[in-house]
Amino acid sequence: MNKYELALIVTAKIEDEQRAEVVEKCKALIERFGGTVTGVDEWGKKRLAYEIQKMKEAYYYFIGFEAESTAPAEIESRVRIMDNVIRYLIVRQDEAQVESEK
């Protein structure tokens, strides 16, 4: 199992409950493809580096998970079409990086 992190940028134009639903859907996708969620880091509302879809602010979430090497591609293909997600990125964490975080 490899360690990954899913970075999500969610639109600020929706209610708190809808944002929570988006995060829960992403967690469910990870589990659906055989992964286990290790943690969710909510950074809150931040100013975007540049305007995206006429928005200047959005909510940032980082979901850590462990999964097989085939899972990220499947997860990305589903997250790509999710409403209210304006940007996403899955990165594999190196073993040295994981050890330094402990």
Token digits for 4? Answer: 């990954």
Q: What is the pTM of this model?
A: 0.86
pLDDT at 101: 63
Query: Model confidence over 31-77: pLDDT tens digits?
Result: 999 999 999 999 999 999 999 989 999 999 999 999 999 999 999 99
In this prediction, residue 100 has a pLDDT band, given cuts at 50, 70 and 90, of: low
